[in-house]
Amino acid sequence: MFAIKRALKLNNREATLMAKHAGFRRVVFNLGLSLRTQMYGERKFTDSKVIDEIKKVLTNHVKKQPEYAWMNQLSSRVYQNALIDLKEAFSRYREGKASHPTFASRRDGQSFTVDSSNGKVLLKSGNTIKIPTLGTFRLDEPLECGFVSQTFTISKEGNRWFVSFCVDAERCSVQQPESSVGIDLGVKSFATMSNSQVFDAPKPLKQAKTKLAKLQRKASKQRAGSNNQRKTLSKIGRLHARIACIRKDFLHKLTTYLATTFKSIKIEDLNVKGLLANHKLAGAIADLGFYEFRRQLEYKCQMYGTLLVVVDRWFPSSKICSNCGHKKEMPLQVRTYDCPTCGVSIDRDLNASLNILNWEPSA
Ligand SMILES: [Zn+2]
């Protein structure tokens, strides 16, 4: 069993719906807690009995009050789950695992749980998710394959809403057709693979970046706080969002392809001191999304059962001849590896990817 968490792409109406449900959860939890505290003297009541009593009060009295009528428009599963949370909070308290439950406040963060009362539901792969009793919503990252789950927690972090749920399946079943590959990540080409395939960052990304640099120069020349500067800054903001979107899409396609195509993938550890000491290169690495690439590749490999091998960070993949093992210095501007020992002449990045493929952990 493993947990999946995905950011939701919500429009204003949907975000408001989520916020309302989070508020509903808070109100029900707090009403329940206050009723529970009032009943505390009634020692003969078990937790379940108390929760049943609270449910009766909420259903027969509270929900019928005009000021609480809005509750009837929202998912009743939120209300059920808020009371389950309350019950669990009290059992943890009684077992000495937690302190006495306290009133939920907006400051604790917004979240709520819904579930399907008809048992588990099938979630289809793709860019949307159907959440029981709430509706269908767009996802920031697609679901790679169909999953089965029953309980969904929706929470807000910063300005974004997330959905999380547990799935039974160990992983998505996939038969990768190819055995293994070594990947060299670079500034010139994003990824060079030991089978000679090359993946470049998408063209629109490069175009958008040129445009971004232009706008940033423009903004720096405009009078601070002026209307014109504000307009330029808002353009810059939109462009940043567009760039992030294109990059993410590119990385998703690439990492899904890799994890479903190869049985084993070898990549370099990117925390290379030398690389990060070089500021220009460090900036380029952050900019290109190497860390995001690694994050996506890690979880997709886990999901599809692909073996991911991270090569030792000190392995000099660029300096070794992949044909004979000769070692020489390779300044960054040298794009071809010309071996003085065996005479091979090979693209710098392809040579590195072959060395990464052939790397074996030392015993
Ligand atoms: Zn050689």
Contact assessment for residue 302 and residue 144, using Cβ atoms and an 8 Å cutoff = no
The percent of residues in the chain predicted with pLDDT above 90, rounded, is 43
Is 279's pLDDT higher than 80?
no
* Active-site residue flag, 349: yes
Query: How far is ligand 1, taken at its centre, from the CA of residue 341, in Å?
Result: 5
- What pLDDT band is residue 189 in, cutting at 50, 70 and 90? confident
Provide the mean pLDDT of the chain: 87
Structure tokens at 210: 């040129």
Query: How far is ligand 1, taken at its centre, from the CA of residue 345, in Å?
Result: 8
Query: How far is ligand 1, taken at its centre, from the CA of residue 269, in Å?
Result: 24
Query: How far is ligand 1, taken at its centre, from the CA of residue 270, in Å?
Result: 26
pLDDT tens digits along 314-363: 889 999 999 999 999 998 889 999 999 999 999 999 999 999 999 988 76
Query: Strand runs (DSSP E) across the chain, as ranges?
Result: 2-9, 111-115, 121-123, 126-131, 135-143, 147-149, 151-157, 160-167, 178-185, 191-193, 198-199, 262-268, 307-311, 336-338, 345-347
- pLDDT score, position 285: 60
* Active-site residue flag, 268: yes
Is 181's pLDDT higher than 90?
yes
Catalytic residue (one of 85, 115, 144, 184): 184
Query: How far is ligand 1, taken at its centre, from the CA of residue 189, in Å?
Result: 23
Catalytic residue (one of 85, 115, 144, 268): 268
* pTM, full prediction: 0.64
pLDDT tens digits along 153-173: 999 988 889 999 988 665 677
Distance CA 209, CA 215 (A): 10
- pLDDT score, position 344: 95
- pLDDT score, position 337: 96
pLDDT tens digits along 9-33: 999 999 999 999 999 999 999 988 8
Kind of pairing between the strands at 160-167 and 178-185: unpaired
- pLDDT score, position 292: 84
Q: How many CB atoms lie within 10 A of CB 218?
A: 15
- CA angle (87, 111, 252) in 5-degree steps: 130
Query: How far is ligand 1, taken at its centre, from the CA of residue 326, in Å?
Result: 5
